[in-house]
Structure 1
């Protein structure tokens, strides 16, 4: 079949391409470094300085003038349904998989894939395959083993073996608590999964966390508190998400971080009726205003996840789909409200990297991966570099996945 006219470039591998010298950007690493030049080489950040010398003509390379722009680490989204979520109202409600450009347009250079309610027709094997595919397309991609349910669906038959032997798998998720769609786990069941995740993570030098889907149930975070009370597991193992889905749960999350846990707010689509929930920007506003530790907060998009609304009988009465772009939209909204970029940026970058033990991600420093986002004057995405390759340039998508097509 002939190539489609106007189709984007497809990247068959993650080759870093030319040397890149980025000139004169206001750099946030995420701490502010002032106006700097940044040199990228072999998919890494090679140097950051007030002024770097020009590239020698004998070296293949490019210089880019970024004066007047802000340069930040690539965003890390720790919760995306890479092969699609949904299915709670039958096969026709299965959400399609996520394409590369859907992530890059959101400034996401590192992504973690999850399964949701459906661990039956969607499998960990499918998720791992899509994760590896995104790596081939130029993104940094990881995933969790498991889904909402217990026993935990795995690839090898064991949580520990999945962590030790399957490279992209870095933890368990999203295991559901306080939700009518969960397996209604007991304390002992949660502790067994968390112990396997923790020890498997130690053996594989990975995060080994349990990423917990939190529902609207009245039990809230009670099971997590009891797990901390009755076990020796470190608090960092438990990472509850969707904690902004109602105000009661958000208040519980604020108390939980005092015990050493990190919690995650979800960037719900802005057109959704918030009801008792908090939009991500509102939740982060409130978190900062209450003096809660920003270092314990992360934000994710729930991209390609189905966001159903249930009635009192458990029937779906409305449905929306999460979009990766809500992650960058939340950052833009926070900047529009006057928040300091250096304060809120870690919620989307270094906090996530630290929790997931991705030491080469989330910061702009020599030796780190060359994952960078260029922000315009209004905080919108103007450029995205993933592992040294431009995916978005001048606000336009220049690289996409093999099955994506140009809109023209």
Structure 2
């Protein structure tokens, strides 16, 4: 059933080219973090400095993500994406050059990391916005979003592996050069595959800001769900490392992460393959509750294998939760704000993950690990209080979702 469903998605005119180009460009986001971390560590000899460089890159990228997506909505992918990709690629090559040998000036690394965060193109939101235009039938669109989310998660698994191989076989800076080539090639191919009528939307800046505020208000449920999921998973990932260290070796956490990723892939594919009767808002409520409950069970794990099994169950809800959040936000957003709407979901997820990881890092040495694992579920469950299913647009009129 699932093969025919996903095959129908890829047989949609223009879908295969969109999907292929997006995967190439987005693979860069899987290879950059580890490559940059290893390259900075090698040139400075300091994990602390490497951590700060990564923090600057991530913070700037996350904070400016909606703004870059807004430029795409305003000017169209054909016009907005190539300059971003070119700037991002140039900065990555610059980072590769300065980290090729030891002794790179630390302030230069911080400036280049910030510049990379400024230019990083919003390929995920752009791709999902294009799925909405290519695939108009609701069930098929759900499968397209599921396929997209699962593929993106797999890229974040294979990307670090590729970066690690390059760092071992050559040097970490080579991974930065590869990342630049991937993002430039994939983004340019993606941009030229867009319909020419998407070049400009002609959005007035004042109306644009007002529309953004209205969008954030209407999309409170999917944004809260994404932030809660990011917070819960960010905390769980750090706590799993601590758990593994106390029950064996730190490296054993890889089994927990693999179980979480495998469960997420299965759940994401199932979401697209099954015909669901429940409305998107109701599905999101149920999935968020399931994810929170599964993470809470981690507090009862007596051993690493049991924690891995619980992680696999939690993973079953991860991709479906994010996919449904994207779908619901897409339903709520007017066509001229779809890219930005997807970017806000990304931003909510990443912001939740960053904040929770920092807080858990402070708590884990002060309170029992079991209590910390239980606390990791709280932001996910708290997202259920965000609101009843939001109002969505139907024929230009906002109506309550049934």
Which TM-score applies when normalising by structure 1?
Answer: 0.22
Q: Which has the higher contact order (CA 8 A, sep 6+)?
A: 2
Q: Name the structure with the higher helix share.
A: 2
